[in-house]
């Protein structure tokens, strides 16, 4: 091809591009001059983006803004709450605890002194409640998110520093609750009084606490248990007696009532323990000077409320009075703590199962001028596991 021809072709190409550019300028000017055309182009581009990148809406459009509470700003998260025997409490995210196979070495869940141990452990949402009952018969309430979060091995914070307690007031029971619409709370005093109240009666306590039960001057609240309305309850005393009756024998009453007699006490006797009966457990009795035994729950006959009950353990001068009785499973670990702060930890299956009217075997040599002050189950999470048995109580309808 001749050079003149090549030059002509290039000139034609430039002219064509020039004419196309003029048309594009005219089109763009017409778009800028028309709001309708601009809106149409934006709409088309947004539809293309939606088709390519769309997912479910993450926000909600509302007509007006309601009042926002602190709880609305708290992420709902599963927490592990640990309560020590000496009254320290803390929470940790459940995600910090890996699931382990049975027989694993576990991990530390709370740093405690020798005389202290993890007595309660449960799993609950940051929006769940914990009810704290004092020896004065008052109720205090916290949401789980109000409990300070601490390191997995930390001791936590003293419960008394989180609540507005009165002088001389101590916490007798901490009870986790999912909701207030179902079930009952059964309260037990040292003088043998028992009271049952609908759980919903406690849904709006004040910051300074509310009266849960009217207590006589010479009495105090000893324990509070959750019940479904049809359970058996068992009360044990320091002189070795126990009574088992159905909770239907106790009529439900309001918060400010006193309650009724659960067990008739002899002179010098007082209630040391109370339980809502669970299946597949035995009853462990432990005395001041280190004796203990387990007895099958079938050996405790169902009776009417207000009687003296039956002999639960043979109380002798050698063994001392009963410190407490608790329901245990074979795999439970038992903690025994003395007045001097010494403690022993043993598996429940190592303690013999015998009849009611026996003294039991030596669990601990407490030594001279010393005695056992308390017993309890070491929460299984103290060994690094999270069993359902220590989760929040399963309320009727869950």
**83-141 per-position pLDDT tens digit:** 887 888 888 887 775 443 333 334 444 455 555 666 677 778 888 888 999 999 999 99
What percentage of the chain reaches a pLDDT higher than 70?
85
HSE of 249 in the Cβ direction (CA atoms, 13 Å)? 20
3-state class (DSSP) for residue 378: strand
Question: Mean of the pLDDT values across residues 240-263?
Answer: 94
Structure tokens at 79: 């927490």
CATH number of 71-101+113-391: 2.120.10.90
Q: pLDDT-derived band of residue 245, with 50, 70 and 90 as boundaries?
A: very high
Confidence (pLDDT) at 327: 93
Give the per-residue pLDDT at 383.
Answer: 39
Task: Tell whether the model's pLDDT for residue 35 goes beyond 60.
Answer: yes
Residue 76 in tokens: 């709902």
Which tens digit of pLDDT belongs to each residue from 346-398? 899 999 899 999 999 998 888 888 888 888 877 554 433 333 323 334 444 44
Give the pLDDT of residue 8: 67
154/360: higher pLDDT: 360
- The string of DSSP codes covering 290-305 is SEEEEEEGGGS-B--T
Tell me the pLDDT tens digit for each residue of 287-307: 999 999 999 999 999 999 999
pLDDT the model gives residue 165: 87
Q: What is the pLDDT of residue 337?
A: 80
User: What's the mean per-residue pLDDT of the chain?
Assistant: 83
Give the H or E element holding residue 78. Answer: strand 78-84
As a whole number, mean pLDDT of residues 268-285 equals 93
Residue 259 pLDDT: 93
**DSSP state for residue 370 in the 8-state scheme:** -
Which has the closest alpha carbon to 322: 361, 282, 357, 291?
Answer: 291
Domain ranges of the chain: 71-101+113-391
Nearest by Cα to 144 from 206, 80, 209, 68: 80
Identify the CA nearest to 334 among candidates 73, 100, 48, 117: 117
- Whether 326 shows a pLDDT value over 70: the answer reads yes
Task: Read off the pTM.
Answer: 0.71
For 171-204, what is each residue's pLDDT tens digit? 888 888 888 888 999 999 999 999 999 999 988 7
Position 330 pLDDT exceeds 80 = yes
DSSP state of 353: B
pLDDT beyond 90 at 282: yes
């Amino acid at each position: 091809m001749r050079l003149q021809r090549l030059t002509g072709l290039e000139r034609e190409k430039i002219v064509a591009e020039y004419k196309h550019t003029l048309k594009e300028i005219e089109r763009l000017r017409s778009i800028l001059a028309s709001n309708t055309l601009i809106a149409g182009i934006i709409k088309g581009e947004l539809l293309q983006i939606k088709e390519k990148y769309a997912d479910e809406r993450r926000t909600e459009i509302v007509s007006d803004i309601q009042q926002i509470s602190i709880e609305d700003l708290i992420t709902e998260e599963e927490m592990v709450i640990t309560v020590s025997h000496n009254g320290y409490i803390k929470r940790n995210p459940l995600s910090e605890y890996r699931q382990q196979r049975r027989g694993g070495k576990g991990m530390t869940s709370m740093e405690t002194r020798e005389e202290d141990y993890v007595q309660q452990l449960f799993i609950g949402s940051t929006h769940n409640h914990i009810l704290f009952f004092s020896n004065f018969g008052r109720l205090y309430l916290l949401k789980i998110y109000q409990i300070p979060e601490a390191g997995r091995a930390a001791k936590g914070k003293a419960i008394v520093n989180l609540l507005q307690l009165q002088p001389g007031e101590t916490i007798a029971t901490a009870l986790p609750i999912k909701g207030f619409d179902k079930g009952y709370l059964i309260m037990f005093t040292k003088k043998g009084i028992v009271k049952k109240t609908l759980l919903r009666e406690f849904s709006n306590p004040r910051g300074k606490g509310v009266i849960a039960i009217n207590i006589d001057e010479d009495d105090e609240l000893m324990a509070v248990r959750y019940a479904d309305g049809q359970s058996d309850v068992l009360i044990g005393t320091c002189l070795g007696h126990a009574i088992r009756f159905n909770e239907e024998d106790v009529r439900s009453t309001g918060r400010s009532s006193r309650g009724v007699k659960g067990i008739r006490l002899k002179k010098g006797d007082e209630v040391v323990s109370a339980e809502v009966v669970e299946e597949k457990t035995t009853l462990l009795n432990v005395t001041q000077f280190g004796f203990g035994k387990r007895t099958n729950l079938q050996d405790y006959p169902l009776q009417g409320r207000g009687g003296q009950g039956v002999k639960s353990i043979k109380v002798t001068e050698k063994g001392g009075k009963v410190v407490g009785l608790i329901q245990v499973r074979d795999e439970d670990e038992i903690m025994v703590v003395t007045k001097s702060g010494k403690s022993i930890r043993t598996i429940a299956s190592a303690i013999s199962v015998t009849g009611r009217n026996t003294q039991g075997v030596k669990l601990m040599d407490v030594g001279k001028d010393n005695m056992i002050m308390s017993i309890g189950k070491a929460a299984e999470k103290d060994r690094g596991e999270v069993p359902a048995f220590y989760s929040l109580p399963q309320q009727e309808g869950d």
